[in-house]
Every structure is written in C-alpha cells, then in structure tokens.
Amino acid sequence: MLRLIPFIMSLWLLAGYALASQNTIEGLRIWPSPNNTRVVLDLAQAPEFSYFTLTNPYRLVIDLAATDDSRDLSSVETAGDLIRTVRYSTPKNSNSARVVIDLARNAKPNLFAMTPTAPYGHRLVIDLADSQSSASPVVIDSASNNRDRDIIIAIDAGHGGEDPGSIGPAGTYEKHITLSIAKKLESMINGERGMRAVMTRTGDYYISPNKRPELARQKKADLLVSLHADAFTQPEPRGASVWVLSMRRADNELGRWMERSERHSELLGGAAEVITDKASERYLTETILGLSMDHSMATSYDLSNKVIQEMKKVTRMHKRTPQAASLAVLTSPDIPSILVEVGFISNPQEEKNLNWAEYRDRLAKSVFVATKRYFQDVPPDGTLWASLKERNRTHRVRSGESLSLLAQRYNVKVSSIKEANNLNSDVVRIGQVLTIPST
C-alpha cells in the first residue's frame, strides 16, 4: 500500500496540471463596421487554434485546443447584419472547444492572437472582411449640380472598437472622446456652405492607422484631421498639441510610394495611360510626388498654426508650435494631414473637462474655425470657395467709412462682410483692407 501512495500522488499532480493548463473562454465581443466585423474571444491564456470555412450556409469554424466550452455565448447580441449567431459545435475531442460563427453571407476571415494590454487580457481576434460593403461613396459632383464642388474634410476619430486608446484615471476611454468631438466637428463643417465632412469611422469599431489615410483618399478629401487625446505615466502633464508628419517619415513614404507602381496612375491620372516609357513615368511620378508632398506638408504646418491659435482660446497648450512625428495616419503624400491631441486624458482635471459636452463642443469649434480660416485664404482649385474668392473684391477703408456704408455701396449684408473678414465687431480702421464678398 505504501508503494502505491507516490503513484497516486503523481496522478493527482498530473490531473491538477492538466486542469491548470486548460484554457477558458472568458468573454465574447462583436464590433461591426461598414466594411469589416471584428469578433473578439477573451481568453484566460494564449490560444492555440485552427480554423476553416464552410459554405451553404456560410460558416467560420474555429477549433481551440485545450479549452473549456462552458462559457455561454448565446447571451451576446450579434451586432450588425453579417453575423447571425455565435455558438458551440461538437469539438475535436473532449479537451477542446469548437466555436462556429454563422454568417449571413461570404466574408474573408483573418484570425490572430493578441497578448494582454490593459484593459484586456489574452484575446483571439477574428476579422471578417464583408463581401457586401455598406459604406457609401461620397459624391463630389453630379450632373444635376452645376456649382463648384465642396471642400472635403476627412475627420478621423482616433482608436475605436477593440482599441480603446488611452484610459483616464476615472475610466474614460479615449475612443469615446475622439468620436464625440469628431461628430461635433462634422456637424459644424456640414453646416457651412461649400464644405463637407466625411468620417473615417462613424461608430465604435477599429480601423487600422494605415487604412485611415486610404479612406480619406477614397473620399477625395482636401484635408485629413485626426483627433486624439494624449496620455502620460504621471498625472501632471496637461494641454493640447498639434502634430504634422516628420521630414524623415515623409522621405520614407515617398520611397514607398515610388516602389508601388500600381499607385502611379492615382497621381498621374489619364497621363499614366499614354506614357509608354516606364522611365519617363517614374520620373514624372517622382516629380509629382515630391511637389505633392511639399504642398501637403506646407499646408499641414500652416493649418496647424491656425489650429493652435484657436485652441489656446479654449485650453492650455502643451506645445505652442506644431510638432513633427512619424505617425501612420499622417503619411498621405497628396492630402494635407494634421493630428490634434485635445488634451491629456491621464490628467484628472482634463479628463473631467473632456467628459463635459460643452467643452468638447468648444474644442470642435476651435478646429472648425481654424480650418475655415485657412481655406478662406487658400481654397483648393475647383471648389465653390475658390470661385467665390475670384469674384470677391477688396476695399481699403477711408476716413468716414463704416461697415454699414460699405454694405450699402456694394449691395451686400454687413454680416457677410464681417464673416468674409473674420470680424468680431462693427469697428473698422482707416487703411484696413476688407474683402467684399460677392452678392
């Protein structure tokens, strides 16, 4: 009997080890977006998995080795219209779990594991590229529209979905703050004649930073504004800042675009179809890319200064001049792009401010006013504002003249003159040059 005791204890130890190594599903989350749906399985340990797809009906089958399947998946609502149900099926063996995602239509899966990053633990991420995109294109011009096109502003709400961004001491997620400010900015821009806003994301879902400039290009944007909230390991830092692309990253992006010959036609337009000499095409593309990047970076820097001027009326500035960095969202060579850090969410007072709707509204308005000021000065060719600027007149104020007198003389409203010149009062000074808007 004494000889059996060590053997029995070994069995107990082996059984305990087997139980300890068994993985468990701790949660299920679903994040739908216009082009993609992300499913996340929260797990106690790093997953060991394999998968395959089935048709008629469409299904994605995932096998998780050494995983318990006692977690109820049926209670999770299947957001969006791509996923019908998420359920268990008969596993390969008694120690594994088989998860089946029933799909409404075909979708291309991409599965990968993620290591713990606060506030999440181990995860298995399932990205489903929808074969039937619900994203609608932005119409710039139409046959029934005989006026010049709008200035298109792409607004990028940072983070989203599985990526919460920075988290404040009171638990505020950066992704919610940026989306709220983005929607306020969108409303302001869409309320301005001659301007139109497009959003890289309209809800709580994830988009790759590299994909965001691509979305702006698809929407034919004249500007990309990316909104974020800063964070630090200590609570003291505070204030907003504005960022542009660094020269080193800009040079790298030029080289990357030059190596992607399929992109040359995007820059050359119809010219790419008639150029038969590949060396000439490359030279022309390199020239256009260089000019385009120079223009984009100059525009980004000038606009950043205007944004800082407006934002400092609302909040403290952490950096009082535009900052340069290697950020993926700013890498488009043909679209001016800026990244606005609206404050430090890691600072308790700024987190409290950012949770105040009126404060977010004031931040959005500061970005809007700066953007409007910039494009009033240098409207893109072919836009309504460019056409209006060509027809606008200027007038140098002489002694005895007032805004009301000038309004009568040029048959325009006083408010129109004030808006065209960013005037906050009716006071004008002798020698001041005013833009007189067209009637």
At 357-416, the pLDDT tens digits run 999 999 999 999 999 999 998 899 899 988 877 776 788 888 888 888 888 888 888 998
Residues 186 and 308 in one domain: yes
Same domain, 85 and 30: yes
**Backbone dihedral region of 88: left (phi > 0), alpha (psi from -120 to 50 degrees) or beta?**
beta
Q: What are phi and psi of 113, to 5 degrees?
A: -90, 150
The answer to whether position 387 is within a domain reads no
Phi, psi of 423 (to 5 degrees): -90, 135
8-state DSSP, 317? B
Which range has the worst mean pLDDT, 184-193, 195-204, 252-261, 309-318? 252-261
Domain that residue 417 falls in: 392-436
Query: Of the candidates 106, 129, 126, 124, which has an alpha carbon nearest to the alpha carbon of residue 114?
Result: 124
Using alpha carbons only, give the angle 282, 288, 294 rounded to the nearest 5 degrees.
135
Cβ 121 vs Cβ 42: under 8 Å: yes
pLDDT (tens digit per residue) in 299-349: 889 999 999 999 999 999 999 999 887 777 777 777 899 999 999 999 999
* Domain CATH number, residue 402: 3.10.350.10
397 and 302 within one domain: no
Instruction: For residues 426 and 329, state if they share a domain.
Output: no
For residues 244 and 360, membership in a common domain is answered with: yes
pLDDT tens per residue, range 129-173: 888 865 554 444 444 344 589 999 999 999 998 889 999 999 999
pLDDT given for residue 264 in this prediction: 47
pLDDT of residue 106: 93
Domains contained in the chain, number: 3
